[in-house]
């Protein structure tokens, strides 16, 4: 459940003091100075995903500053990433001044002085994690802090939609999922820093590789959606369809073929399970995104050389101590499977 702090019900004369205390206790100790003369309005919603803290701050124009004195009063050094949702800001850290526009990212280190100046009403997502979790050299981190990172291209274009979605749904994940998401965010932040410090490549392989991993993970999590397609994947990740196909060129398989291959593999696994309640072949097919049972049977046989029912029957016979039907082989091992499901040279998925 989100912790929400707001000045809405606070007396006008106490709003600034309340907001100063709320921000300092929730994020890190800092000084907030309003830029207007009227009653101050602010709202701060915070959730935790394991060791990652996710906050969304909306407020009237103000200046935030973190001084050496306030830093000395803090215990754990944190690395933060701010995503400008609306409005603009000016960030200063490590001698650098960055003008932050809507959609930009800013990385900053709470163990060193910094300031944010918001000239108008604004909203921002703030992601905080312990510095020790990031695993990047201090020298690399210092090269990135205090810079506005645009999200029109590069890895920033991949990171922004993910962070925006995470911030809007941070209170919806059970603890086990939250912990895994926190680990993923650390990897993504480390990749962002690597991209920004690697000046020798126009398209760093780390960024491309992480995008491909994200796409594959998205596919694996949405196999049961019959509308999963290259077009929907490109829209979700805010990349062109052409670039999506380019990502998979190096994998030796098309996007559509990879989706079908993964669906077939999951169907195989489920059809091989035994229990008191055994789902029908049609139910298994629909669960993994095959709308038409006849189509599912055709592509299954084309990939593995046997029908889904024959595959289930053979697995039951093996479990009961019988022998496999003549002329069939386990999916992924026989010549038909090699030419069908794995003809592109990819090993069976094991994630």
Residue 211 has a pLDDT of 82
CA distances from 186 to 51, 67, 305, 338 (A): 10, 26, 43, 37
Fold (topology level) of 201-351: Arc Repressor Mutant, subunit A (1.10.10)
| Neighbouring residues of 185: CB distance < 8 A, sequence distance ≥ 6 | 49, 52, 127, 129, 163, 166
Starting at the earlier edge strand, list the strands of the sheet with 122-130: 3-6, 42-49, 52-59, 122-130, 78-86, 105-109, 148-149
Q: Tell me whether domains 3-199 and 201-351 share a fold.
A: no
DSSP state of 292: -
CA distances from 46 to 76, 137, 269, 329 (A): 18, 29, 40, 54
Taking the C-alpha atoms of residue 40 and residue 17, their distance in angstroms, rounded to an integer, is: 10
DSSP state of 349: P
Residue 205 has a pLDDT of 55
* Residue 317 tokens, joined: 């016979």
Residue 345 has a pLDDT of 31
CATH of domain 3-199: 2.60.120.10
| Neighbouring residues of 208: CB distance < 8 A, sequence distance ≥ 6 | 247
Residue 206 has a pLDDT of 59
Residue 10's CB is within 10 A of a number of other CB atoms, namely: 19
Domain ranges of the chain: 3-199, 201-351
Residue 193 has a pLDDT of 87
Low-confidence ranges of the chain (pLDDT < 50): 200-204, 322-351
Residue 180 has a pLDDT of 86
Is residue 323 packed enough to be buried (19+ CB in 10 Å), middle (13-18) or exposed (0-12)? exposed
Residue 318 has a pLDDT of 59
pLDDT in tens, 326-348: 333 344 433 233 333 333 333 33
Taking the C-alpha atoms of residue 290 and residue 82, their distance in angstroms, rounded to an integer, is: 41
């Amino acid at each position: 459940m989100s912790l929400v702090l707001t000045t809405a019900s606070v007396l006008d004369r106490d709003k600034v003091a309340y907001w100063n205390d709320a921000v300092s206790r929730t994020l890190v100790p800092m000084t907030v100075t309003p830029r207007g003369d009227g009653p101050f309005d602010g709202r701060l919603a915070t959730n935790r995903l394991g060791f990652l803290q996710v906050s969304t701050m909306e407020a009237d124009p103000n200046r935030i500053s973190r001084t050496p004195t306030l830093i000395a009063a803090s215990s754990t050094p944190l690395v933060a990433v701010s995503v400008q949702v609306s409005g603009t800001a000016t960030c200063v850290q490590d001698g650098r001044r960055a003008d932050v526009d809507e959609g930009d990212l800013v990385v900053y280190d709470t163990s060193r002085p910094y300031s944010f100046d918001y000239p108008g009403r604004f909203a921002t997502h703030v992601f905080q994690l312990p510095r020790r979790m990031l695993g990047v050299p201090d020298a690399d981190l210092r090269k990135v802090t205090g810079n506005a990172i645009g999200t029109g291209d590069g890895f920033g274009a991949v990171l922004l939609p993910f962070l925006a979605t995470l911030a809007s749904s941070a209170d919806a994940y059970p603890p086990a999922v939250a912990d895994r998401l926190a680990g993923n965010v650390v990897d993504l932040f480390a990749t962002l820093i690597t991209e920004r410090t690697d000046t020798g490549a126009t398209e760093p392989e780390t960024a491309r590789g992480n995008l491909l991993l994200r796409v594959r993970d998205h596919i694996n999590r949405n196999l049961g959606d019959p509308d999963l397609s290259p077009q929907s994947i490109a829209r979700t990740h805010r990349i062109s369809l052409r670039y999506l196909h380019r990502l998979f060129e190096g994998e030796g398989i098309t996007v559509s073929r990879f989706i079908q291959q993964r669906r077939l593999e999951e169907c195989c696994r489920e059809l091989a399970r035994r229990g008191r309640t055994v789902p029908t072949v049609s139910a298994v097919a629909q669960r993994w995104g095959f709308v038409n049972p006849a189509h599912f049977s055709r592509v299954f046989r084309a990939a593995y050389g046997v029908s889904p029912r024959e595959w289930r029957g053979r697995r039951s016979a093996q479990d009961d101590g019988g022998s496999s039907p003549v002329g069939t082989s386990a999916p992924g091992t026989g010549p038909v499977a090699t030419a069908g499901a794995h003809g592109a040279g990819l090993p069976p998925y094991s994630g």
